[in-house]
Amino acid sequence: VLGEIQADNVESLREKIKVAYSNKDKLRSKSLDERVEFIRKLGRRIRFARNQLTELIAREGGLPIKYANWEVSMIAQGYLHADMRAELYLEERELQAVRGESYAVYHPLGVCAAMTPRNTPLSLNGWAVGACWLTGNSILIKPSTAVPLTTLKLLEMAEEVNSEFPVESAQPVVTPGAFAVQEFIHNPMIDAILFFGSSHVGKKLLVDYAEYLKTTIKDLSFAGGFMINGKFKMFILEMAGNDAGIITDDVDVEKVADYTVKAAYTNSGQQCFSMKRILVHKDVYDEFVEAMMAKMDDLKMGNPLDPQTDIGPLGSEKILTLIDYMVKDAVEKGGKLLKGGEKEPPFYQPTLIEFEKEKILGAEASQKPFMWVEEAFGPARSIVKYETEEEAIRLANDTNYGMRASIYCHDVQRARRIAQQLETGGIMINTKPSVVDISVLMGGVKDTAYPPGAHDIVPLLVWQQYIHVDNALSE
């Protein structure tokens, strides 16, 4: 037992919302420079507590400690460079004007409710909290009930950094998501909802919001109309990915096979931006598959506290069952099992399945393997041989999701030509997997994100005000 905490009920959740709401003016009264400096100090504190945090993440979430270390690095670096985001998105800026002066200033939305998944106990929670503090928004942060301790530790460290900063503007919520969502939607003190998770759950969130709005309709039939009194809220939805990796015929096969295995199986494949559908040119396909399977043999499955472990336990029995179903369904629908394919509860073997491109491109959606259509959130991946660029692009775009894609190609101009035809928010060309780079944007298109497109969360958490100053009174 790592710890015991009291779950929130209706009364405690509403009290926390009130506390966050009551602290929003205190937070907003801090200048942008003061908020930046606090976040940077917290970043230094996180960096110095790296070992403590990585062990907590590994114990609580089952994440291999090498991936937990990546999480800590991402948040520490992001916080340490908070000034970069402030300069890019939040500082007052002058606008072009025909006459007089025009400028834009930025204001926080108010109170944000954020919900994050189990697979990232620190990075997404830290991203949400840091973005809200930077923009001057209070936040209710609701981690997965499977991993609340890391978030509580982050807020505890924030208290230690500066007791004068209104840390209470961030309130942790420990309760099932379905319960919290209803309160976040109905409570008038909540101005924005930030959600990280399944696209299907994200869509259900919008359905629930629509149902709430319906309850606030007021009939004005006497005037031939109606009113809807429910409050507009900002929704920021960062959801699933089904990322493709395109490997062309001019690459160093050994090197790219190594990158592909890391991109596909890091954190047991439980990353929204993992490479899930591997597309390889026919001229290097056999050599690539051989090299990739050799690299897969080197993956170590076991104790997440072991620094050598690559494949840790899956997050729940539900995920384990779903991955096993995806693999069996893939084989039943014509896929060839190249490696793995077995449960070893709570683990699943690193698995690779070959699909024929004809059975993908020429099939109805209901006939396609489930693991091609939906995100495989575990260590099971598919690989397809293609002949032409057009086929690679069609295969990559053959999904309802559009988070990222990877391209490995010696000819960068060719890679850029391919990239411009891919329907994804982000494209990584010849990039090492799990790069620690705070400039990388989130978001996506299709069923991956709303609002659509690649974006940083920070500018979505403020509203822009246009101000124009002229000299008409002096004329």
What is the extent of the structural domain holding 402?
243-439
Check whether residue 109 and residue 132 sit in a common domain: yes
Number of structural domains the chain divides into: 2
Check whether residue 317 and residue 344 sit in a common domain: yes
Residue 251 domain flag: yes
CATH of the domain at 166: 3.40.605.10
pLDDT value, residue 435: 67
pTM: 0.95
CATH of the domain at 263: 3.40.309.10
Check whether residue 39 and residue 123 sit in a common domain: yes
pLDDT value, residue 46: 97
Check whether residue 42 and residue 168 sit in a common domain: yes
pLDDT value, residue 281: 98
Check whether residue 416 and residue 461 sit in a common domain: no
Ranges of residues in the chain whose predicted pLDDT is under 50: none
Check whether residue 396 and residue 281 sit in a common domain: yes
Angstrom distance (rounded) from CA 469 to CA 105: 13
Check whether residue 251 and residue 389 sit in a common domain: yes
Residue 346, CA distances (Å) to 54, 116, 305, 323, 447 in order? 21, 22, 15, 12, 30
Residue 366 domain flag: yes
Check whether residue 103 and residue 88 sit in a common domain: yes
pLDDT value, residue 232: 97
Residue 316 domain flag: yes
Residue 374 domain flag: yes
Check whether residue 106 and residue 156 sit in a common domain: yes
Angstrom distance (rounded) from CA 197 to CA 199: 7
Check whether residue 233 and residue 248 sit in a common domain: no
Check whether residue 129 and residue 26 sit in a common domain: yes
Residue 4 domain flag: no
Check whether residue 273 and residue 333 sit in a common domain: yes
pLDDT value, residue 439: 74
